[in-house]
Amino acid sequence: MKAAVYYGKRDIRVEDIPEPKCNPDSVKIEVKWCGICGGDLRAFLFGPDSHHPASSVLGHEFAGEVVEVGPGVEDFRVGDAVITGIRAGIGNDQFRRNYIIGGAFAKYVVKHKDTLIRLDPRLSFEEGALIEPAVVAVHAIRNSKITVGETAFVAGAGPIGLLTFQTAKAAGAAKVFVSESSPQRKRLAKELGADEVLDFNQCEVPKKVKILTGRGVDVAFQCAQQALKDCVASVRERGRVIVMAAHTEPVALDWRYDILYRWVSLIPSMGRNPEDMICAMEFIANGRVKVNNLLTAKIELGDFVKGGMEKIENGSEVKVLVRPT
């Protein structure tokens, strides 16, 4: 079968690999759609890491149909629609071992039964492939402990940023401000309900946020790696900054004046739990979080680099889904 095999920096090849075999306690899935995520792009641009080792098949934001179940599997049947998930009682470390090296940019993928959940029947396979990034947003909102009536700032209107600000609204945020420079992404943020979209090439974002709020927002979500300083400067005293984007270079902060004297909390947000999965899927199914607007391209596996990675890199696409079959 064909698969997108990752060899290193700017080196992803669509080539033939053996079809995976279904193992005990595992499920074989025909992948319908799989999303290119920011981690995949980062590995393409900067080289292998522990989540994206060389000679691996990428792809973890997927939705598909069960075609075979291994011995010991009782919760899934052939024909079930499934997505990457985490089920109650499964620790995050165990989930990560089964999840990080995705393998879903291929016609078939085999996954342990505990890393899958059924797709809500109200949702399409395309929407199912967008649940995993929505879970990132839900987890961040839950970590922020945002309450009804608070204000928020989301730095970056990529897929995660667009999902995060919608989820903040769904959780009760009174106003959410978004920073972005891409015309396409600014338009999407406005269409999806951002209260204000600030172009960091046209204004000093923290100053503008403080003008809009009078003191700064209650919580800021760093969804673009270069925006940590803007997030810290945009929150009020005793505000919270949720660190979501992985950094490829160190970030310098004035810990005395930016953090300590202002009692600002920096809160990392990674991973997920079963409640996050349930919440994200329900938000999408009931329309409180819209994902179809984010989807700007659907491509075939053979166009993975030119039509996917390179177009996301140059900013001409926001979210790309790949059809491995």
pLDDT in tens, 128-144: 999 999 999 999 999 99
- Mean per-residue pLDDT for 98-122? 88
Query: Which of 63-77, 151-165, 237-251 is least confident?
Result: 237-251
Domain spans of the chain, in order of start: 2-130+291-323, 136-268
Q: In this structure, are residues 319 and 159 in contact, taking their beta carbons and an 8 Å threshold?
A: yes
CATH code for residues 2-130+291-323: 3.90.180.10
Q: 182: which residues sit within 8 A by CB, 6+ positions away? A: 157, 315
pLDDT at 19: 97
pLDDT band of residue 88 (cuts 50, 70, 90) is low
pLDDT band of residue 87 (cuts 50, 70, 90) is low
pLDDT at 313: 95
Nearest alpha-carbon partner for 110 in 64, 165, 50: 64
Alpha helices in the chain (DSSP H): 38-46, 92-99, 125-128, 131-144, 159-170, 183-191, 205-213, 228-234, 274-285, 310-313
Burial 93-132 (b: 16+ CB within 10 A, else e): eebbebbebbbbbbbbbbbbbbbbbebbeebebbbbbbbb
Q: 200: which residues sit within 8 A by CB, 6+ positions away? A: 179, 180, 181, 227, 230
Q: In this structure, are residues 252 and 246 in contact, taking their beta carbons and an 8 Å threshold?
A: no
Which superfamily is assigned to 136-268 in CATH?
Answer: NAD(P)-binding Rossmann-like Domain (3.40.50.720)
pTM of the model: 0.93
pLDDT band of residue 90 (cuts 50, 70, 90) is low
Residue 309: DSSP 8-state? I
- Mean per-residue pLDDT for 192-219? 97
pLDDT band of residue 289 (cuts 50, 70, 90) is very high
pLDDT at 267: 97
Instruction: Look over the chain and give the mean of its residue pLDDT values, rounded to a whole number.
Output: 93
pLDDT band of residue 101 (cuts 50, 70, 90) is low
What is the C-alpha to C-alpha distance for residues 161 and 155, in angstroms, rounded to an integer?
7
Identical fold, 2-130+291-323 and 136-268: no
pLDDT at 182: 96
Instruction: Give the residue with greater pLDDT, 246 vs 63.
Output: 63
> What percentage of residues in the chain have a pLDDT greater than 70?
95
One-letter amino acid at 15 equals E
pLDDT band of residue 91 (cuts 50, 70, 90) is low
- Mean per-residue pLDDT for 87-100? 53
pLDDT band of residue 230 (cuts 50, 70, 90) is very high
